[in-house]
Amino acid sequence: MALSYTSEHEELRGSIRKFLDSETNAAKRHLLADSTGAYDVPQWKTMAQELGLHGMAIPDEYGGSAFGFMEQSVVMEEMGRVVHRSPYFSTVILAATALQLGDDEAARARWLPGIASGDVIGTVALVEADGDWSASTITTKARVEDGGRSLYGAKSFVTDGAAAELIIVLADSDEGEMLLAVDAREPGTAVVDLPVLDQTRPLATVIFNGASGTVLATGARTREILAQLLDVALSALAAEQVGGAARSLEMAVEYAKIREQFGTAIGSFQAIKFKAADMLLQLEAARSAALYAARAVSDDAADRTAAAAVAKAVCSDAYFAIAAESIQIHGGIGFTWEHDAHLYFKRAKASELLFGNADVHRERLAKQLGW
């Protein structure tokens, strides 16, 4: 397994970074963080239609470019670097992947072209009020009504739920567990925004009261798809965490070079040097874990589930620790709303909890290894 990005990947990274740096300055980051449920729609369309980021891993017959997860990993890392606020993770990583893993060709034909073009926002709704990301208990029901399936119940912690037109829902039924695609614009769906720590990644509770759903998978196939989707989600989040951690370290080092105390730059103090060295060590460990997981998912390797679990655990710990130390190095200014440091700190904590924290995935890994 090649544990490096190719020159083509680095060219892609350069293009994305140039675009995001020009489009996502500090003022815009704070403006979006202060907004409720907002994202930059023109930027979203440019990303989809001019850069082709949304259709990277979508087959060309649905308007995509048929690349793979390695390319998506590069995108996620660069978005994490600027704490990007858009429904990319929810739509492209989660919803589009679920559609492609599902068994309904008509649903793919209906939704994937819109995702690739940036015209459709999607998400997945797996978790209920108990916050259990393994979804071991499902109270949402898919009932047979008028020859189709109607959904009743509620899902919590749905990423970008308020913006989504397409919601992929996990439900129970008389045939066992089901995965269904729901058009949120049709009757029977209501969305309630949740208060969040990280304003750059909105969450919502979605309430279903007779919403019509298209069945993507039933019975054992449902859990097979969810397992694969979880590997993709964890690996993508790990890449995003690496990008955020890297930028947090960069900001801390940049500030340590210019902030003076007792007539000298604080970066010359041993205490700051030790902090920066520890941060770099954690970053490189996280980068290696995320890259291995991305390659394992891309190659559909036998150890992809273990690699994804390791990456999520390592990168969650590293990002949170680095973001916290970055605030400490920045001192008083690091605690202010005007500085970017708190945005990275909040994203670090929120992404640590999303799809289960480090302890959850260490336990999953231990079970996989028979410990």
Top-level CATH class of 122-219? mainly beta
At 135 the pLDDT is 86
At 160 the pLDDT is 96
Domain 223-368 has CATH 1.20.140.10: yes
Complete DSSP assignment for 194-215: PP-S-TTS-EEEEEEEEEEEEE
Cβ atoms within 10 Å, residue 133:
18
What tokens does 160 get? 């970008």
Same fold, 7-117 and 223-368: no
- Over the chain (371 residues), the average pLDDT of each successive run of 10 is 84 95 69 67 94 94 93 97 95 98 97 97 95 90 92 97 97 95 96 93 96 96 97 98 98 91 87 95 98 96 95 98 96 86 95 94 86 79
At 22 the pLDDT is 85
At 165 the pLDDT is 96
The CATH homologous superfamily for domain 7-117 is Acyl-CoA dehydrogenase/oxidase, N-terminal domain (1.10.540.10)
At 362 the pLDDT is 92
Residue ranges covered by each domain of the chain: 7-117, 122-219, 223-368
At 4 the pLDDT is 80
Amino acid residing at 209: N
Cα 355 from Cα 194, distance rounded (Å) = 17
Kind and range of the H or E run holding 10: helix 7-23
Cα 121 from Cα 39, distance rounded (Å) = 12
Residue 161 CB contacts under 8 Å (≥ 6 apart), including other chains: 123, 125, 167, 191, 202, 203, 204, 205, 206
